Structure formats: structure tokens, C-alpha cells
Structure 1
């Protein structure tokens, strides 16, 4: 069976259980932390995939990877995943849950990349711009990349608005070299 199909099935079951228990936001937070830890700590995957580690030790490690205080539904879910020997695709399950939750709650993830710090009012204007285009709640993230020289890059859903000085200069250079 396909890894994607399995992970989405587990994520759907987790979402349904968390909604029934009224803790879907808590599980969402747990799954975001777990997914992020899989990205930032490659050793986590190595440890979880290690057949020499006991299920109990893996469970303790996964609880720590969800922020040390996951809700009961998350704990039960981690136990089930380990019991069914599906821990090798847990990262996909966590990402699938985050995606399903955002879709159900109409949450859009947006990122504003600028060359320097921006004021809170500029950030708010960009957030409102994305909210007006998507009719959803926006989870807004900002990042600084001095290589942009000036301007900004705004990413949300499948859209990318690149109004950076670096891109404009590269476009001019490309036209001049033709």
C-alpha cells in the first residue's frame, strides 16, 4: 500500500478523534511540533527507524519530540502507530494531519521574506492582503534575507509574488545579455 494513502488515513482518523474529543487545536500544535522536529533533527528519524530501540523508548522519544506534554489523544495515537509498526511513516502522518486541519479550518500559511526588518503595520497590511484574497485565516511567518537587496517575496498557498530588487536586477541583466 502507498505511504501517502496510509499516512492520510491515519491523519484522518486522528483528526476525527481529536474533533470528537474537542482537542483538535491541541493535536494540531502537537503535530506541528513533531513535524518540525523531524525536519530540524534528522537524528529523530534515525532513532525511530532503529529496530534495536524498544517501543517504550521510541514512545518516550516521540513524546519528547511533541514538546514533552502532548494531549492524551496524541499520546494514544503515538502508541497506536508504534503498536501497528507504522512509526517509519509518522512524519508523513504528522504533515498530513497539519494539512487536513488547515483545510478544514480554512487556514492559509503565508510567508513574507524581506531584505530587512519590517514594521508591524507593514506585516499586518500584508496579512490582510492575503486574507482578502483567500477568505481564510492566515498563519503568517516572516523571514529576513539580505540577499534580496530590497523589496519582498510573499508566498501563500501556491502563489508567489516576487517583488525583490534582486529578481528585478537579474531580469534586467538577463535582457541585456540577450
Structure 2
């Protein structure tokens, strides 16, 4: 089973439990802290993925870093995940938790990458597309710029991606030229 699917199940379980216990906002804060810590600390990400490091050692490190900073539910969650040898999925759990939390709150976050800042008309059009696709009215666009796209955009909503960049179009065109069955070989 893929790490993403495992993470999705763990995130849903944690979300359900936190909601049931009335600590959803606190656990969400814990997952935000965990996600930010992982983003800023490559060594911790690599440690959690490392199959050589024993699971109890990984749990001890998680407790040392987050002990007293996160809720009991989150600490117990870390223990359960490490007991089931799924620490490598933890970095995805925090992201999945955020996505599922947003959906429960009727929010949809979409990431759009463009070669230059979005024009207001395109921003509104992308908002409209995401609202229609997700069925949710509260849409947030996270914008980033990647000049290597040359033009166009890449829109990512959850696990779906729409790539309308010039860079990708050029790559597809180049590949189609390479596969041209009408090439004549001169001997």
C-alpha cells in the first residue's frame, strides 16, 4: 500500500478521534507544528524514512522533540504509528490531515504555479474551476512562481494536477517529434 494511502487513513483516524474528543483544533495545531518542523528539518524527515533506525528510537526522538508541545492524543498517535512501523508515512499524515480538515470545514486549498504573477481575471477563473470541481465555495489559491514554466500554469487540487504550462507543452511536442514514424533514414 502506498505511503499516501496509509497516510490518508491515519489522518482520517486522527481527525475522527480528535473531533470525537473535542480536541480537533488542538490536534490541528499539533499537526501544523509537526509539518512545519519536518519542512524545516531535512534530517528528521530522513530519520523517519530510514529503515535501519529502530522504531523505538524514532519514537524516543519524536517524544524528545514534541513532548510537552503537543497534546496527549498526538503523542499517543506517534506511538501507535511507530508501533506499526509506519513512521515513514508520518510526513504525509500531516499534509493529509490538513487536506481532510479543510474539506470538513468546507474549504479547498488549490496550489497554482505560474511563470509570472497571476492576472486578476485568471485568478478568478481558476477559483471558479476549483469551486466547480470540488463542490466547495470557500476556495483558497496558494500561488507560487516558477519562471522555468515559461508560460501557462500548473494547478494542483488535492491529488489531482492540471499542467497547462508551456514547458510541458514543449516537452510533449519534442517527444512527438522523436516518435515521428515518417522519418526517412538516409543510408
In the superposition, relative to structure 1, how do residues 9 and 176 fare at CA in structure 2: closer, same or farther (>3 Å)? closer
Task: Report the equivalent of 1:60.
Answer: 64
Backbone CA RMSD of aligned residues? 4.1
Structure 2: segments with no counterpart, 5+ residues: 181-187
Superposed displacement of residue 22, structure 1: 2.6
In the superposition, relative to structure 1, how do residues 173 and 7 fare at CA in structure 2: closer, same or farther (>3 Å)? closer
Is the deviation greater in 164-173 or in 111-120? 164-173
8 Å contact 1:47–1:53 — kept in the other structure? no
Distance 1:138 1:25 in 2: 20
In the superposition, relative to structure 1, how do residues 96 and 134 fare at CA in structure 2: closer, same or farther (>3 Å)? closer
Distance 1:9 1:165 in 2: 36
What do the CA deviations read for 1:135-173 (whole angstroms, capped 9, x no partner)?
Answer: 124353222110111222222245433332333444555
Q: Aligned with 1:129: secondary structure?
A: helix
Task: Report the equivalent of 2:157.
Answer: 156
Task: Report the equivalent of 1:115.
Answer: 115
Is the deviation greater in 151-160 or in 88-97? 88-97
Distance 1:7 1:21 in 2: 21
TM-score by length of 2: 0.62
In the superposition, relative to structure 1, how do residues 157 and 88 fare at CA in structure 2: closer, same or farther (>3 Å)? closer
Task: Report the equivalent of 1:133.
Answer: 133
Is the deviation greater in 32-41 or in 16-25? 32-41
Distance 1:109 1:175 in 2: 34
Distance 1:6 1:160 in 2: 21
Superposed displacement of residue 115, structure 1: 0.4
Structure 1: segments with no counterpart, 5+ residues: none
**Structure with max Cα Rg:** 2
Is the deviation greater in 109-118 or in 137-146? 137-146
Task: Report the equivalent of 1:44.
Answer: 44
Correspondence 1:147 to 2:148: yes
Is the deviation greater in 139-148 or in 25-34? 25-34
Distance 2:15 2:44 in 1: 24
